Chains A and B, each alone.
Chain A
Amino acid sequence: MPEALHEPFEDIASQRSAEQAGIWIFLASEAVFFGGLFLGYAVYRHRYPEAFAEALGETNLVLGSVNTALLLVSSATMALAVWAGRAGARRLTTAALVATLVLGLAFLGVKGVEYAEDIRHHLVPGHPDFPVDRLGAEMFFSFYWAMTGLHGLHMAIGLGIIGWTAHAVAQERIAWRETAHLHVVALYWNLVDMVWIFLFPLLYLVGRG
């Protein structure tokens, strides 16, 4: 098992505290980054409410709902990995990390199917056969592609880290019991999950009724 304590820290509690503070500062910058995108969406939704509602009707509610369920379950399995890690349960920690990885990959797979369907239906801003003939509708899909694309990129990065962590925990290559490694990974994954929790109503639900 590798050494848990690293320089310049004198005790593991200070190191854990610094690890946690570091990820929270990063998450804060991410929140502001996505906040700008949500703000842009809100401004244009305010300007073109009918166009946004009509364009939203073109997104696939079933696939969006399936993906929401996958991501919510993955958030729970990731939290389980943290709790099991604190208890020193290596098998449960690894199993929960692998479950999170599988659920995340399933999310990206479903998203890929959805993207293919969107392209087949010409739901691409600037496409000559764009199906909604209303000023502002293409703006909705500009946000749709930008926001889901950036979210997907964050997911792909998170899945890479989770996959590596699962392997490292299984092989005892990191000091997963003592350090905040699992908690830091989980916090990043939870933020990705939280972004989707707000993307789902804004891109699939609001105005559909």
Chain B
Amino acid sequence: MAERSQTRMILRAALLCVAMLALAASSVAAALLLGGWAGTLVPLGIACATAAIVAVGFMEVPHLDAVSAISAALALALVAVLFGLTFTDELTRAHIPPGFGGMAPGEVSTE
């Protein structure tokens, strides 16, 4: 009984491991074969899928208690705010005319 249970655990770990390795291999293939936006978005999308396997399969995120779930959600929200505010600035700054006192991204001051 105990041996069968241990075999089941090993098989479960092996299965998740093979799935993650297959995703990693496909992200390498996608990066080498795809260009442009697809070459960026597909490997990052595959990374998200791999991270989801770790989160659900290993970190047991669906079974978190309230305090742990709030901590995890707050961390994600803070990172989202960081990215949101920074890129709001970054993307709009490019539209400030040079004479207005701003420099376009990549522009080097000649002064």
Residues of A within 8 A of B (CB): 17, 20-21, 24-25, 27-29, 31-32, 35-36, 38-39, 42-43, 46-48, 61, 65, 68-69, 72-73, 75-80, 83-84, 87, 89, 92, 135-136, 186-187, 190, 193-194, 197-198, 200-202, 204-209
In the complex the two chains form, is A87's CB within 8 Å of B21's CB? no
Whole-angstrom CA separation of A21 from B21 in the bound complex: 30
- B47 CB contact (under 8 Å) in A65, A73, A76, A201: A201
Instruction: Chain B residues near A79: list those with CB within 8 A.
Output: 13, 16, 57-58
User: How far is the CB of A174 from the nearest CB of chain B, in Å?
Assistant: 21
**A73 near B65: Cβ-Cβ < 8 Å:** no
Pick the residue among B20, B27, B90 that contacts A75 (CB under 8 A): B20
Cross-chain pairs A/B with CB under 8 angstroms, 20 sampled = A20-B64, A20-B68, A25-B71, A28-B71, A32-B78, A43-B87, A48-B106, A72-B21, A72-B24, A76-B13, A76-B16, A80-B9, A89-B2, A186-B59, A198-B44, A198-B51, A200-B24, A205-B30, A206-B44, A209-B35
User: A190 contacts B71, CB within 8 Å?
Assistant: no
User: How far is it, in angstroms, between the C-alpha of A190 and the C-alpha of B35 when the chains are bound?
Assistant: 31
What A residues does B43 contact at CB under 8 A?
201, 205-206
Does B20 lie within 8 Å of A72, measured CB to CB?
Answer: yes
B54 and A197 contact, CB distance less than 8 A: yes
Instruction: Check A75–B47 contact: CB distance below 8 A.
Output: no
Q: Are A201 and B76 in contact (CB under 8 A)?
A: no
Known: A197-B50, A201-B43, A209-B33. A76 touches B86 (CB 8 A): no
Question: What are the residues of chain A within 8 A of B86 when measuring CB–CB?
Answer: 39, 43
User: CA of A90 to CA of B25 in the docked complex: distance in angstroms?
Assistant: 34
Chain B contact residues: over half helix, strand or loop, or mixed?
Answer: helix
Residues 1-40 of chain B: 1 if any A CB is under 8 Å from the residue's CB, otherwise 0?
0100110011011101100110010011011111100011
Query: B75 at the A/B interface (Cβ < 8 Å)?
Result: yes
How many angstroms between the C-alpha atoms of A24 and B64 in the bound complex?
10
B96 in the interface (beta carbon within 8 A): no
- A87: min CB distance to chain B, Å: 6
A46 partner, pick from B35, B75, B105, beta carbons under 8 A? B105
- Whether B17 lies near A24 (C-beta < 8 A) is no
Question: What CA separation (Å) do A201 and B31 show in the bound complex?
Answer: 8
CB pair B72 A205 closer than 8 Å:
no
Give me the 8 closest cross-chain CB pairs, A-B, nearest first.
Answer: A28-B75, A205-B31, A76-B17, A35-B79, A24-B68, A201-B43, A31-B75, A21-B67
- Of chain B, the residue at the smallest CB distance from A187 is B59
- Measured CB to CB, the closest approach of chain B to A11, in angstroms, equals 15
A206 and B83 alpha carbons, distance in the complex (Å): 19
A27 touching B58, Cβ below 8 Å: no
